[in-house]
Structure 1
Amino acid sequence: MRSRITRLSCRVAAVLVAGGTALVEVAIPAVAQPDNGVATVVRACTPGDYPPYSIGDGAGGYRGVDIELARGFAAALGRPIEFVPVTWATLKTDFVERNCDIAVGGISDQASRHAFADFSITYGTDGKAPITRRSNGAAYSSIEEINRPGVRVIANRGGTNEEFARTNFPQAQLTLWPDNLTIFGEIEQGRADVFVTDAVEGRYRVRQHPDLQVLHPETPYDSFGKVLLVRKNDLVVATALNAYLATQLATGSVDRLFDQWIGPTASAG
């Protein structure tokens, strides 16, 4: 059973805005220790299949931009963190049933998710772009080129990629894939023609799959915010999370995390 919050303290993070002289003070509420003195664990749901946001390391651990943000948030509260594996298809039910405080991993601010969680402030933007084999050239650049009979579209089940494919490619041949990890091999091996996913993920994935290309990632088909999910009506955690993310944005920490994964000299993987 989750421990009752018995008191509320604030820690103030003073940060210099990069490139300016203004001092920004951000109050970060900290969840108090329970009566037994043991810090309450921050439980973070994550699918762990969406780099550079979140990816499993094969040994039960996770890495990625969202993972580092989640770890930093827990540290700011003085609490340990536990990552809880979920899938995109079951995120709605798992988030509540597995008693998660937050959810991370490249989550878009999709309106339907408001039904089971609250959103943090937006910490980044992204949009959908196509991934295909380099040998195809620019053959699948536009939605119209993809939405044709005979074009083999593939999408991972249960998330915004499936929704985008169903909405925009009704004439194409759609295959739903059970995960977002092995799906790129289907394109490489010629069993699918194109996969439309977040442009940020595409920029990362083509580093590992040199035979693939992401088309026009700088001008994706759409644009949406990236957020972390918070338990419904948990104002203490929501306020603390937003204050923490504000400091990471103000100091450029979020940009530096993305640069490690998709920047000109990216080395994370």
Structure 2
Amino acid sequence: MQRILSCLAAAFILVIGAAQAQETKQEPPQQTSRLDEIIKRGTLRVGMTGDYLPFSSYDSTTGKFRGFDVDMAAALGKALGVKVEYVKTTWPQLAKDFEADDFDIAMGGVSITLDRQKKGFFSTPIMREGKTPIARCSDVDKFQTLAEIDRPGVRVIVNPGGTNERFARAHLKNAEIEVYKDNVTIFDEIAKGDADLMMTDASETRYQQKLHRDVLCAVHPDKPFDFAEKAYWLQRDEPLKAFVDQWLHIAKEDGSFQKIYAAWFE
């Protein structure tokens, strides 16, 4: 009888141990994704500088944004079934605001960079381009190459904190670089003769050429100095990236992307 009781006790201990081991192996509850949070919250927070037409422009009088990526953000919000909340930022402050989680996604002409990639995800690219000059139409032939631009006496104007300033400082050693804080009126400085040129994204040079017809001309926008792509900068959440990528894929296939693009770039 003693032996039987000992065997039963041992069996009981084994059963309890197995049950405890099973509980230990159970996976912890999954954390809610940012995509789920956005849908539950009912709003998509979009960071924009509002000073970079045709991508985004902010009217301080009305408090409203307009531009290509404003229309794209509205389309993304509709696809998610949520409202869009625009968060005003600046190029020098963009990365800090992103890290502070002030918005879910940055839009408005954001270029893909490895530094930004370290902090979040990028959507599939929406545009391929690069840096190219814009100058007074009478001076286009003077600034075809970086060597022609990088000469003493040439005044290159840049907006602070973004890829334009970084590109200019990386490639120019002899030309004069002037930092101009207002990215909205910066092209007027070239038109007035207070600066000779600016090197910026080809899409922006084409747009500013339209606004300053017969005064400012884009210099070989089809053959920029470097390679760059624009995309949407997302907080690091795989479900959110997967949704945005799929939304972009559908938009490009069903023609809705091209319709918004044509309204601002053609």
Write out aligned runs for 1:149-160 (5 A).
Answer: 149-160=152-163
**Whole-angstrom distance in 1 between the partners of 2:227 and 2:125:** 12
The equivalent of 1:229 in structure 2 is 233
Are residue 218 (structure 1) and residue 222 (structure 2) matched? yes
Are residue 111 (structure 1) and residue 82 (structure 2) matched? no
Relative to structure 1, the CA distance from residue 6 to residue 139 in structure 2 (aligned partners, 3 Å threshold; closer, same or farther) is closer
Are residue 178 (structure 1) and residue 181 (structure 2) matched? yes
- Amino acid paired to 2:226: D
**Whole-angstrom distance in 1 between the partners of 2:36 and 2:116:** 26
Are residue 73 (structure 1) and residue 100 (structure 2) matched? no
Are residue 128 (structure 1) and residue 131 (structure 2) matched? yes
User: Given the two structures, how large is their TM-score scaled by the length of structure 1?
Assistant: 0.82
- Amino acid paired to 2:229: G
Q: Which runs of 5+ in 2 are unaligned?
A: 1-29
Q: Which runs of 5+ in 1 are unaligned?
A: 9-28, 264-269
The equivalent of 2:63 in structure 1 is 60
**Whole-angstrom distance in 2 between the partners of 1:81 and 1:178:** 28
Write out aligned runs for 1:220-259 (5 A).
Answer: 220-232=224-236, 234-259=237-262
**Whole-angstrom distance in 2 between the partners of 1:78 and 1:186:** 43
**Is the contact made by 1:6 and 1:32 (CA closer than 8 Å) also made in structure 2?**
no
3-state secondary structure, aligned to 1:181? coil
**Whole-angstrom distance in 2 between the partners of 1:7 and 1:230:** 13
**Whole-angstrom distance in 2 between the partners of 1:159 and 1:193:** 20
**Whole-angstrom distance in 1 between the partners of 2:33 and 2:209:** 48
Greater strand fraction, Structure 1 or Structure 2: 1
Q: Deviation digits for residues 159-214 of structure 1, max 9, x if unmatched? A: 11001100111211001111311111111111110100111111111111121111
**Is the contact made by 2:39 and 2:81 (CA closer than 8 Å) also made in structure 1?**
no
**Is the contact made by 1:30 and 1:78 (CA closer than 8 Å) also made in structure 2?**
no
The equivalent of 1:18 in structure 2 is none
- Amino acid paired to 1:183: I
Relative to structure 1, the CA distance from residue 119 to residue 110 in structure 2 (aligned partners, 3 Å threshold; closer, same or farther) is same
> In terms of mean alpha carbon deviation, does 247-256 or 202-211 score higher?
247-256
The equivalent of 1:266 in structure 2 is none
**Whole-angstrom distance in 1 between the partners of 2:226 and 2:258:** 21
**Is the contact made by 1:45 and 1:85 (CA closer than 8 Å) also made in structure 2?**
yes
List structure 1 runs of 4+ shifted beyond 3 angstroms: 4-8, 29-34
**Is the contact made by 1:117 and 1:231 (CA closer than 8 Å) also made in structure 2?**
yes
**Is the contact made by 1:124 and 1:226 (CA closer than 8 Å) also made in structure 2?**
yes
